[in-house]
């Protein structure tokens, strides 16, 4: 098990009610499960997570199963909701 920080951005930050919080988990799936349990009083949080992409220590998770993404001691998980805008 590793300890690190989950950072929430934009809609994820609003739904969580915080910009960041610690994790104690071995995989991304474990960290996200704990985060959902922590924020059960904020039902929008779980819905927002379904639309998010994730970076683990700066690396995109992409389509990998969250159970296969190991977390590192002192690492960072970035929770990135879809952003509006872009090229037209």
Can you tell me which residue has the tokens 């989950």?
6
Strand order in the sheet with 76-80: 20-25, 2-8, 76-80, 53-56, 59-60
Residue 48 neighbours by CB under 8 Å, 6+ apart: 11, 12, 15, 81
Model pTM above 0.85:
yes
Domain ranges of the chain: 2-80
Q: What is the pLDDT of residues 10-39, one digit of tens each?
A: 999 999 999 999 999 999 999 999 999 999
pLDDT of 88 > 90? The answer is: no
pLDDT of 87 > 60? The answer is: no
Q: Which CATH number fits domain 2-80: 3.40.50.1970, 3.10.20.30, 3.40.50.1980, 3.30.720.210?
A: 3.10.20.30
Q: Which residues pair with 80 in a beta bridge?
A: 53
pLDDT of residue 29: 98
If you compute the radius of gyration of the chain from its CA atoms, what whole number of angstroms results? 13
Contact 56, 10 (CB under 8 A): no
pLDDT bracket for residue 82 (50, 70, 90): confident
């Amino acid at each position: 098990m590793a300890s690190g920080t989950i950072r929430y951005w934009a809609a994820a930050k609003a739904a969580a009610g915080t910009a960041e919080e610690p994790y104690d988990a071995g995989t991304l799936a474990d960290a996200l499960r704990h985060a959902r349990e922590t924020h059960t009083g904020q039902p929008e949080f779980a819905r927002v997570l379904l639309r998010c992409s994730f970076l683990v220590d700066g690396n995109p998770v992409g389509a990998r199963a969250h159970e296969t993404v190991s977390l590192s001691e002192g690492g960072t998980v970035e929770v990135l909701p879809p952003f509006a805008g872009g090229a037209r």
